[in-house]
Amino acid sequence: MSATVTINNGSKQKGRAVIRPALRAGMIAMALFGLLLFSQGIWIHAKAILAQVLLDRAFTQSIETGQPVKPWSWADTWPVARIEFPRIGETSIALRGASGQALAFGPGHVDRSAEAGENGTAVYAAHRDTHFAFLKNVQIGDTIKITRRDGKAFTYQVTETSVVHWDQSGIDSNADGKNLVLATCWPFNATTSGPMRYLVKAQIAE
Amino acid sequence: MKIVTHSPSPQPLPSWLRYTCQAVWLINIVVLPLVALLAVFLAGPARAETAQSPLVTMDEVKSGTLLLKSSEAGRYIEAPRVATDVDIIVSGPTARARITQIFTNPSNGWVEAVYAYPLPEESAVHALKMVIGKRVIIGDIKEKKEAKAIYETAKAAGQKASLVEQERPNLFTNSVANIGPHEQVVVQIDYQEPVRLSGDEFSLRVPLVVAPRYNPAPITQTADLAADGSGWGTTADPVPDRDKITSPALDPRINAPVNPVTIKVRLQAGFALGEVKSPHHSIRTETVDAQTQIIALTGENHADRDFELTWKPQNSKAPAVGLFRETIGKNDYALAYVTPPVVEQKQEERPREIVFVIDNSGSMGGTSMDQAKASLDYALSRLKPADRFNVIRFDDTMTALFQDTVTANRDNVSTAREFVGDLEASGGTEMLAPLEAALNDKRPNDQAFVRQIVFLTDGAIGNEQQLLDTIAAKLGRSRVFMVGIGSAPNNYLMNRAAELGRGTFTSIGSTDQVDERMRNLFAKLESPVITNLVATFSAGNADVTPAILPDLYRGEPLVIAAKLGSLSGTLTIKGMIGKQPWEVTLPVAKAAEGEGLSKLWARRKISDAEVESTLGKISREEADKRILKLALENSLVSRLTSLVAVDKTVTRSQDKPLTRADVPINLPAGWDFDKVFGEQTTRKAGLESDSNIQLAKLVQGNKPVTKQAPADELPLPQTATDAELRIIAGLMMLLASAGLFFFTRKTTGKAS
């Protein structure tokens, strides 16, 4: 039967001779590109984990010295707070500013929002698939402990969770009382980014 | 498909089918993942968050560009630019103007541009077009709130939209939503306006820049007690829309002028033209025939001063009467200009009691102050010994030179001239107190004197209505003569104040106009007034505007517009020139064809409603009702109506943030930046350190600060990485290439 095939294809053999190397080249290129993408994806996670180690070190140092310490020499931001979730055993070091670059390494303290422990609303945002992936496990009533760069620590209690549109957050940075909002993208299991955000709201526990 | 190649079937498949199957397989395994990958990458919009934010840091700026401070410290927004082209056709008594604004977004993000620009105070804005690429979207007239809602909906949905709103009769804003990175959107606005005639000179003014206004702080509140007698009430901000009328102004020493302007005027005067002049710009004139000229600006021009064009008839005497008509649908409209004769009788026998009020606030700094001082000095020198006078100067404080008006003897006049000579411009513009002081008449029933108030200012204030209300309420026997100083005076305030004050408005745009214009003003002050004017159309059923005909001063024409029952009969105007009766009759049927008269009539009727409500003759609600009806019927932008145009196509996807940016404007020519901003701010700080809110407002209003989302809503950053996406895509591609490897090895094996 295979002989029949060969005879039937006889006229096409020249064409095949051209297609085959092309296919092979395409295959190799595709494999390399695939590998690149795959490793990029892994790198994002690796960076997120690795950065936290460096950030933790820099933060500890900055509490000791009282000065902002950059986690690595070329960083354009520095750690400003440690966020701890005692019940689920998670800890994260937050950075100043919530730009794309900062969020790659840790949660960002959103500019224009209040400082933790001050009147108003302090807002921290982080990626739903790295630093704030555990936010879906946070429950109402949980405590969140925030240690500031000056060493002062504040305990908040989760009061509410909600889903909002990114530019209609309803967050008032000058709201009464001492409030905390942790924000991340929603839904958690989506692969593409979207306009919705998941908020965990908390109030200071006196 | 494997089944096909390995099929033990005795009947081999036809070769075309085999190839088709193989091709399909190939497509499935190679092309589809690629397509999926592409789609995913294109659809993942807010992936690289920093690339789409219109905000930049100083380091990121590559070319020379204009930056506005944003609400984020250290980050700026590249300001949208507007280039303006003005195309005007003057046909006889009216001018039709088309303003083309080209909005450019130089930033990498999506921007909503908000441009505040002036238009002549009598302009009837009636058409809006938005041009995107080759598509033209025609705007509709809608009630202001409805238009705003339509615009906001389109803005949120990512559609391009344009909204033209009136903030003051001579101050408009154009908001253009969703201008993409490096994109241009063209907006055209059409308006009609009457040509101004004074003496023998016709003129046309195109205001090009909104002068930064001094907005009195809410400290001078007006209280409104509840009608139920509970004693509790609310206080109103004198400038309820201070944010809307404040654009960031640029310091001319640091920034190159922005907002380039081109102007072309086709002047069809309807009579043989004599001298045609543009006092503030250099122009090129092309003569088409004796009655027609085409005027264009030469050189590079920027929107930093008003354009003024004046023309005179060849035989130097302007026609004493002019009558024009227009038929729109079933209605006929007429516009009449009638200049009463100059009666060279003995001058007004009665001596005058004149109060001069001069503005020496920071906005007058530079050449304006010189013009104002020169004008006032001229006026003082014209006083006669029998006259009484006083001088009041004001910035955010005020000084009256004398306790009461004093005799214009040599000593008093020279004291006053010295006082005026020493004035320097600085501080804010609190105009209400000096106006009240000037209107405060100690002898309201004294008929031996004619009481006149000459008010010299640029009118750069935001609380116009408060002033107009004061004039309407306290005028008494006084007459208010407004003298507008500088390259961009607030003509709406000037005209309306003069109308309510039953005086005139004189505009002085440059120092060399001081002599001529002040002489004209004094000729008016000293000549008998034309009073008790009545205009009657014999055919009846005519709706004439202005409803209250003004008193006229020497050389001024009476301009009336009317909606007519029929184009027949006569128009008769009667009045008193001093103590002599005067009458003139015009045959309506012989009126010449005019253009845009219906719009001008409707615009003038809207002003009537505003004036009547200011004078307390009709309620605010009644005025609103009338204005809304007129504006909607005649498709005019007004206090209550706006033009809105919306593109059907969605261009900005939901994930990309939109940033609002005010288009920065030039400081009017001749203004001193420090006097207006720097010094004003620090002075206010010194004077009113107890009022931090006010200072904060002042600083915020004057400095280029862009508003992002409202302050109480913090926009949240993008918080998803594409790590998973990359991992999945990478795995898919690895899988595909493995499949391909398998496939090629199989076929190779078979071929050998």
What is the tally of helices (H) and strands (E) in chain B? 17, 40
Q: Looking at the complex, does the CB of residue A31 fall below 8 Å from at least one CB of chain B?
A: yes
Whether A167 and B709 lie within 8 Å, measured CB to CB = yes
Residue of A nearest to B733 (CA): A34
Task: Count residue pairs from A and B with Cβ separation < 8 A.
Answer: 185
Residues in chain B: 752
Whether B655 and A193 lie within 8 Å, measured CB to CB = yes
* B248, pLDDT greater than 70: no
Residue of B nearest to A26 (CA): B737
Q: Where is average pLDDT lowest: A89-103, B68-82, B301-315, B702-716?
A: B702-716
Q: Looking at the complex, does the CB of residue B36 fall below 8 Å from at least one CB of chain A?
A: no
For B684-697, write each residue's pLDDT tens digit: 333 333 333 332 22
Q: Tell me which amino acid residue B358 is.
A: I
Question: Among B714, B720, B741, whose Cβ lies nearest the Cβ of A193?
Answer: B720
Taking only the tens of pLDDT, chain A with its 206 residues reads: 344 444 444 445 555 667 778 878 888 888 898 899 899 889 888 888 888 888 888 888 888 887 888 888 777 788 889 999 999 888 999 988 877 778 888 899 887 788 888 888 899 998 888 888 888 888 888 999 999 888 889 999 999 888 888 777 778 877 888 899 998 888 887 777 777 888 899 998 87
Q: Is B363 exposed, middle or buried (0-12, 13-18, 19+ CB in 10 A)?
A: buried
Chain B residues touching residue A23 (CB < 8 angstroms): 740, 744
What pLDDT does residue B253 have? Answer: 58
Q: Looking at the complex, does the CB of residue A30 fall below 8 Å from at least one CB of chain B?
A: yes
Q: Looking at the complex, does the CB of residue A112 fall below 8 Å from at least one CB of chain B?
A: yes
Residue of A nearest to B15 (CA): A8
What pLDDT does residue A187 have? Answer: 81
In a domain, A108, yes or no: yes
What pLDDT does residue B711 have? Answer: 43
Distances (CA, A) of B64 to A55, B69, B78, B183: 37, 16, 10, 18
In a domain, A29, yes or no: no
C-beta of residue B474 within 8 angstroms of C-beta of residue B615: no
Q: How many domains does chain A have?
A: 1
Chain A residues touching residue B72 (CB < 8 angstroms): 111-112
What pLDDT does residue B21 have? Answer: 64
Sign of CA dihedral A59, A64, A66, A72: negative
What pLDDT does residue B368 have? Answer: 84
Chain A residues touching residue B750 (CB < 8 angstroms): 2, 5-6
Chain B residues touching residue A9 (CB < 8 angstroms): 15, 751
ipTM of the complex: 0.79
Question: Among B49, B714, B735, whose Cβ lies nearest the Cβ of A100?
Answer: B49
Residue of A nearest to B740 (CA): A27
* B464, pLDDT greater than 60: yes
Chain B residues touching residue A171 (CB < 8 angstroms): 713-714, 716
Residues 6+ apart with CB under 8 A from A135: A128, A182, A184, A188, A198, A200
Question: Among B722, B725, B734, whose Cβ lies nearest the Cβ of A34?
Answer: B734
Q: Which residue has the tokens 């990309």?
A: B656
pLDDT band at B644, cuts 50/70/90? very high
Mutation site, A20, A27, A172, interface B, largest B CB count within 10 A = A27
In a domain, A6, yes or no: no
What pLDDT does residue A157 have? Answer: 92
* B512, pLDDT greater than 90: no
For B560-581, write each residue's pLDDT tens digit: 999 987 888 889 999 888 778 8
Whether A42 and B723 lie within 8 Å, measured CB to CB = yes
* B443, pLDDT greater than 80: yes
Chain B residues touching residue A30 (CB < 8 angstroms): 30, 733, 736-737, 740
Q: What percent of chain B has pLDDT over 90?
A: 20
Query: Shortest Cα distance from B16 to chain A (angstroms)?
Result: 11
Domain range summary for chain B, segments of one domain joined by +:
2-44+722-751, 352-509
In a domain, A23, yes or no: no
Please indicate whether residue B732 or residue B685 has the higher confidence score (pLDDT).
Answer: B732
What pLDDT does residue B251 have? Answer: 63
Q: Looking at the complex, does the CB of residue A17 fall below 8 Å from at least one CB of chain B?
A: no
- With a CB-CB cutoff of 8 Å, which residues 109-128 of chain B face chain A? none
What pLDDT does residue B636 have? Answer: 93
Residues in chain A: 206
What pLDDT does residue B687 have? Answer: 32
Whether B12 and A8 lie within 8 Å, measured CB to CB = yes
Mean pLDDT of B193-207: 86
What pLDDT does residue A118 have? Answer: 85
For B204-231, write each residue's pLDDT tens digit: 988 887 666 666 654 444 455 555 556 6
pLDDT band at B703, cuts 50/70/90? very low
pLDDT band at B699, cuts 50/70/90? very low
Query: Shortest Cα distance from B653 to chain A (angstroms)?
Result: 10
Mean pLDDT of B120-139: 85
Whether B713 and A169 lie within 8 Å, measured CB to CB = yes
Residue of A nearest to B34 (CA): A30
What pLDDT does residue B539 have? Answer: 81
Query: Shortest Cα distance from A103 to chain B (angstroms)?
Result: 8
Whether B734 and A27 lie within 8 Å, measured CB to CB = no
Q: Which residue has the tokens 């009126």?
A: B591
Q: Looking at the complex, does the CB of residue A136 fall below 8 Å from at least one CB of chain B?
A: no
Residue of B nearest to A113 (CA): B714
Chain A residues touching residue B741 (CB < 8 angstroms): 27
What pLDDT does residue B116 have? Answer: 79
What pLDDT does residue B88 have? Answer: 93
pLDDT band at B628, cuts 50/70/90? very high
Please indicate whether residue A31 or residue B25 has the higher confidence score (pLDDT).
Answer: A31
Q: Tell me which amino acid residue B739 is.
A: G
In a domain, A119, yes or no: yes
Residue of A nearest to B750 (CA): A2
For B268-295, write each residue's pLDDT tens digit: 988 888 889 898 888 999 999 888 999 9
What pLDDT does residue B68 have? Answer: 55
pLDDT band at B510, cuts 50/70/90? confident
CATH architecture, range B352-509: 3-Layer(aba) Sandwich (3.40)
Pairing of strands B450-457, B352-359: parallel
Our measurement of the distance from residue B592's CA atom to the centroid of its chain's CA atoms, rounded to an integer in Å, reads: 32
Q: Looking at the complex, does the CB of residue A14 fall below 8 Å from at least one CB of chain B?
A: no
Cα within 13 Å of Cα(B608), Cβ side: 21
pLDDT band at B40, cuts 50/70/90? low
In a domain, A5, yes or no: no
Tokens coding B728 = 């999945």
Question: Among A16, A30, A190, whose Cβ lies nearest the Cβ of B737?
Answer: A30
Chain B residues touching residue A6 (CB < 8 angstroms): 750-751
For B514-524, write each residue's pLDDT tens digit: 888 888 888 88
* Range(s) of the domain holding residue A130: 43-204
* B350, pLDDT greater than 50: yes
Q: How many CB atoms lie within 10 A of CB B48?
A: 12
Mean pLDDT of B555-559: 85
What pLDDT does residue B514 have? Answer: 81
Tokens coding B567 = 């184009």
Radius of gyration of chain A (CA): 25
For B71-94, write each residue's pLDDT tens digit: 455 566 667 778 888 999 998 888
- With a CB-CB cutoff of 8 Å, which residues 87-106 of chain A face chain B? 98-101, 103-104
Chain A residues touching residue B714 (CB < 8 angstroms): 110, 112-113, 121, 123, 169, 171-173
- With a CB-CB cutoff of 8 Å, which residues 126-165 of chain B face chain A? none
In a domain, A20, yes or no: no
What pLDDT does residue B64 have? Answer: 45
Whether B716 and A197 lie within 8 Å, measured CB to CB = yes
Query: Shortest Cα distance from A190 to chain B (angstroms)?
Result: 9
Question: Among B71, B711, B751, whose Cβ lies nearest the Cβ of A6?
Answer: B751
CATH, residue A119: 2.40.260.10
When the pLDDT of each residue in chain B is averaged and rounded to a whole number, the result is 78
What pLDDT does residue B306 have? Answer: 83
Calpha distance B37→B736 (Å, rounded):
12
Cα within 13 Å of Cα(B166), Cβ side: 27
Please indicate whether residue B544 or residue B233 has the higher confidence score (pLDDT).
Answer: B544
Calpha distance B79→B84 (Å, rounded):
16
Q: Is there a cis peptide before residue A187, judged by omega within 30 degrees of 0?
A: yes
Q: How many CB atoms lie within 10 A of CB B203?
A: 16
What pLDDT does residue B265 have? Answer: 93
- With a CB-CB cutoff of 8 Å, which residues 701-730 of chain B face chain A? 709, 711-730
